[in-house]
Amino acid sequence: AEAAASPAALRFPPGFVWGAATAAYQVEGAAAEDGRTPSIWDTFSHTPGRVLNGDTGDIAADHYHRYRDDVALMRDLNLGAYRFSISWSRVQPTGRGPAVQRGLDFYRRLVDELLDKGVTPVATLYHWDLPQELEDAGGWTVRETPERFAEYAEIVTRALGDRVPYWTTLNEPWCSAFLGYGSGVHAPGRTEPESALRAAHHLNLAHGRAIGVLRSVLPATARTSITLNLHQVRAHSRSDADLDAARRIDAVGNRVFLGPILGDGYPEDLLADTGHLVDWDALVRPGDLEEISRPIDLLGINYYTPTLVSDGRESPDLPREDGHGASDHSPWPGSEHVAFHLSPGETTAMRWAVDATGLYDLLMRVHREHPDVAMMVTENGAAYDDYISPEGTINDPRRIAYLRGHLSAVHRALADGADVRGYFLWSLLDNFEWSYGYSKRFGAVYVDFGTQRRIPKQSAHWYAEVARDNVLPDPPEEAGRS
Ligand code: GBH
């Protein structure tokens, strides 16, 4: 087969999970319904100047009211799984105490609907929307928050744990800690290097404590995980200075989470790079590392673009950090003397370079360093300037090419031994893209935010065939059939 004249269609392993993902604040809307109170993202988006065009998640894609239609769409698109997140302040408006049943009921109905349509629910407990009351009490910089998170995890898993087979504690704690408390381009918009590092540790602790809760509440068959936005860090040259810049970003971008979660503790070089900013000995208490390293069943990985760095300070060819509000504050505490570069190749509407080798390299790196860790690609996708054609279709060949390239990278990693269990396209729907508001469309399904009408893009139809056949077909030019 390896000597075939034209590239063979790429078949995925039996049982490979094909899904699409969203997050509560990005799609639900219904911001003040059924007892929900503001999260840090409600406060942030309602603060002038924080989000492009003053957009908020008040209505978003109105998924809270349209989940039935959206699940029907998932079934029509042959999705095997739906990754969604739960809004903490919908379930526990103050972040403390008993649950609001009306809030929990939304997720009960959603899960019922998914199971009824044969779509596997994959739940994330926290995708960045901390109850504002907990932020007012110190947010992720204080040790109370991991305690509250463990209680919240218990409420949610007691309510839904018998019917949801996959659970993720946190989505991208790097963003919560370093964009939320470091560069301030995400909620709560704080720019305090020490707080960012404290937040990172407390997010790790929240994860570990929640894993303890999940393991005691959930049936043995349930799979637990955390999702990280691992950075595929590349040095701009082989100079010692540039290689060390890559090491520094790998430390505060990746190993700050991978180390403690996978049982190796905080890396020595991270402690050395950041020791002048935070007192690690006081921050990390006895027993913390044991909690954080509780075994997980899967490591979720979100990947969009590689991270190209050199030693230096100026990053002239990149948009200033991640977000609309350009920040003078670094999301890389202790590693400020690093310049970021645009990787070669074409870019998406986010001005992120399209480079699927980054995904391959990332999966293989985790596989090499932790051969026993099973992985799931929990987000991958691209924003483009989609528009409705006169025929009423949305033709997005560049998104199809992006998905094809990245899925071949996953296939190649599988062939080279990486244990990848599934793939979730970001996103099912166009949605509230954080500090970019509604200006960036990541959806496989187009959303007209005026009417809330959904129109599957060409990429959605393409992905539906991949999911149905468990095969990545040849590209049209090389398919050998006209
Ligand atoms: C994910 O975040 C989110 O989980 C999802 O909600 C979001 O909609 C989606 O991706 C698309 O953005 O600070 O210099 O490292 C991805 C967030 C974006 C964070 C790229 C790191 C790089 C800029 N990542 N960003 S930098």
pLDDT, tens digit only, all 482 positions of the chain: 344 444 579 999 999 999 999 999 999 999 999 999 999 999 999 999 999 999 999 999 999 999 999 999 999 999 999 999 999 999 999 999 999 999 999 999 999 999 999 999 999 999 999 999 999 999 999 999 999 999 999 999 999 999 999 999 999 999 999 999 999 999 999 999 999 999 999 999 999 999 999 999 999 999 999 999 999 999 999 999 999 999 999 999 999 999 999 999 999 999 999 999 999 999 999 999 999 999 999 999 999 999 999 999 878 777 654 543 446 799 999 998 999 999 999 999 999 999 999 999 999 999 999 999 999 999 999 999 999 999 999 999 999 999 999 999 999 999 999 999 999 999 999 999 999 999 999 999 999 999 999 999 999 999 999 999 999 998 876 444 44
Beta-strand relationship, 10-11 and 471-472: antiparallel
Q: Relative to the CA of 340, which ligand 1 atom is closest?
A: 14
User: CB neighbours (10 Å) of residue 241?
Assistant: 13
CB contact at 8 A, 68 and 106? no
What pLDDT, on a 0 to 100 scale, did the predictor assign at position 48?
98
Q: How far does the centroid of ligand 1 lie from the alpha carbon of residue 3, in Å? A: 39
What is the distance of C-alpha 179 from the center of its chain? 13
Secondary structure tally for the chain: helices H, strands E:
17, 15
Q: How far does the centroid of ligand 1 lie from the alpha carbon of residue 64, in Å? A: 24
Question: Which residues does the annotation mark as catalytic?
Answer: 172, 379
Please check if 67 is assigned to a binding site: no
What pLDDT, on a 0 to 100 scale, did the predictor assign at position 320?
53
CB contact at 8 A, 300 and 376? yes
Q: How far does the centroid of ligand 1 lie from the alpha carbon of residue 292, in Å? A: 24
Could you give the CA distance from residue 367 to residue 373 in angstroms, rounded to a whole number? 7
What pLDDT, on a 0 to 100 scale, did the predictor assign at position 323?
42
What pLDDT, on a 0 to 100 scale, did the predictor assign at position 326?
47
What pLDDT, on a 0 to 100 scale, did the predictor assign at position 344?
94
Q: Is the CB of 379 under 6 A from ligand 1?
A: yes
Please check if 426 is assigned to a binding site: yes
What pLDDT, on a 0 to 100 scale, did the predictor assign at position 477?
66
Q: Relative to the CA of 171, which ligand 1 atom is closest?
A: 4
CB contact at 8 A, 203 and 150? no
The pick from 172, 252, 348 for probing ligand 1's pocket by mutation, whose C-beta has the most ligand atoms within 8 angstroms, reads: 172
Tell me the C-alpha to C-alpha distance, in Å, between residue 167 and each of 120, 157, 189, 207, 275.
11, 9, 28, 11, 34
What pLDDT, on a 0 to 100 scale, did the predictor assign at position 481?
44
Q: Is the CB of 322 under 6 A from ligand 1?
A: yes
Could you give the CA distance from residue 433 to residue 210 in angstroms, rounded to a whole number? 27
What pLDDT, on a 0 to 100 scale, did the predictor assign at position 3?
40
Could you give the CA distance from residue 330 to residue 316 in angstroms, rounded to a whole number? 15
Could you give the CA distance from residue 265 to residue 258 in angstroms, rounded to a whole number? 9
- ipTM of the modeled complex: 0.92
Least Cα distance to 161 among 102, 81, 100, 86 occurs for 86
Please check if 26 is assigned to a binding site: yes
Q: Is the CB of 302 under 6 A from ligand 1?
A: yes
Please check if 369 is assigned to a binding site: no
Question: Residue of the nearest CA to atom 7 in ligand 1?
Answer: 433
The pick from 322, 433, 440 for probing ligand 1's pocket by mutation, whose C-beta has the most ligand atoms within 8 angstroms, reads: 322
**Global pTM?**
0.96
